[in-house]
Amino acid sequence: MNDSDKTTGGEVTWHPDPKRPDFTPPSGAVDAHCHVFGPAGEFPFAPERKYTPGDAGKDMLFALRDHLGLSRNVIVQASCHGKDNSAMIDALRTSGGLARGVAVVAHDIADDELDMMHEAGVRGVRFNFVKRLVDATPREVFMRTAERVQRLGWHVVVYFEAPDLADLSPFLKELPGIVVVDHMGRPDVSQPVDGPEFARFVTLMEELPTLWTKVSCPERLTVAGPPYDDVVPFQRHLVERFSGRVLWGTDWPHPNMKSHRPDDGLLVDTIARIAPTPALQQALLIDNPMRLYWPDA
């Protein structure tokens, strides 16, 4: 892989030549958080987007999956595509059943369109509260959407930053079904893992048995940089304490990264540090994502 294969004028934020991981994922491992961007000539980016990425389509994603020794993908709708899920849906339809999706939908989406998405492989809907990425949406709108997708057995994915957790907690407790928090709620990893900020999130996980989280994105959370020694304790704490409700993903192609281009092979190598036993690796990479996204497999 090289940059000349990947750019179309937008921002390239992924590594041009990721290493082959030293850690070998167990057979059937799932990358439970990744994206597709475009190609813009076929799937234009949303006019209201806050950033413009380079093209990073399904073929690149599936090639990376194989390069890393993974087996399946969960493709999360990226904010640069807004509520047009066409690129994600196209990737699902051509994955041979090896990909599932998480959509971003309009509040007035028709039931038959939700049914179409479900048939294609969508199994969740995402609510983004990160103000620098999206415009604000009233919580009652999100709640109605969450209630509507329960008939399909979908879950809700929420993306927010740690300072917003206290305000969001009542809303999270009211959401129906399973709720998955992206990237551990973006903790401040310069604070202690046993400090009050992260304890607020851990306590919410304890109180809500329907709350799951993705122990992903050390490259975004780190202060120290690769190999993310400052983030690993937070990830490992959640994996060991909530082994049946954690997911892992690469976040490829790493939208909006400013500090460095993450090496996805290195990200795979962190798995052995955050899930240090075969049993924890099995739960994190296979059992949990399969239960949520491929329950009938």
> What does the block give as tokens for 98?
């090896």
Longest CA pairwise span in the chain (Å): 49
Q: How far apart are CA 13 and CA 11, in angstroms?
A: 6
Contact between residue 74 and residue 289 where contact means Cβ atoms under 8 Å apart:
yes
Cα four-point dihedral sign 142, 49, 124, 207: negative
Q: Pick the closest to residue 294 from 124, 100, 118 (CA basis).
A: 100
Count Cα atoms within 13 angstroms, Cβ side, for 127: 25
Contact between residue 180 and residue 124 where contact means Cβ atoms under 8 Å apart:
yes
> What does the block give as tokens for 274?
């955050």
Catalytic position from the list 31, 55, 182, 251:
251
Q: At what angle do helices 111-120 and 86-93 cross, to 10 degrees?
A: 40
One-letter identity of residue 173: K
> What does the block give as tokens for 34?
């990744």
Between CA 121 and CA 98, with CA 16 as vertex, the angle to 5 degrees is 15
251 is catalytic: yes
Q: How far apart are CA 223 and CA 241, in angstroms?
A: 24
Q: Annotated active-site positions, please?
A: 251
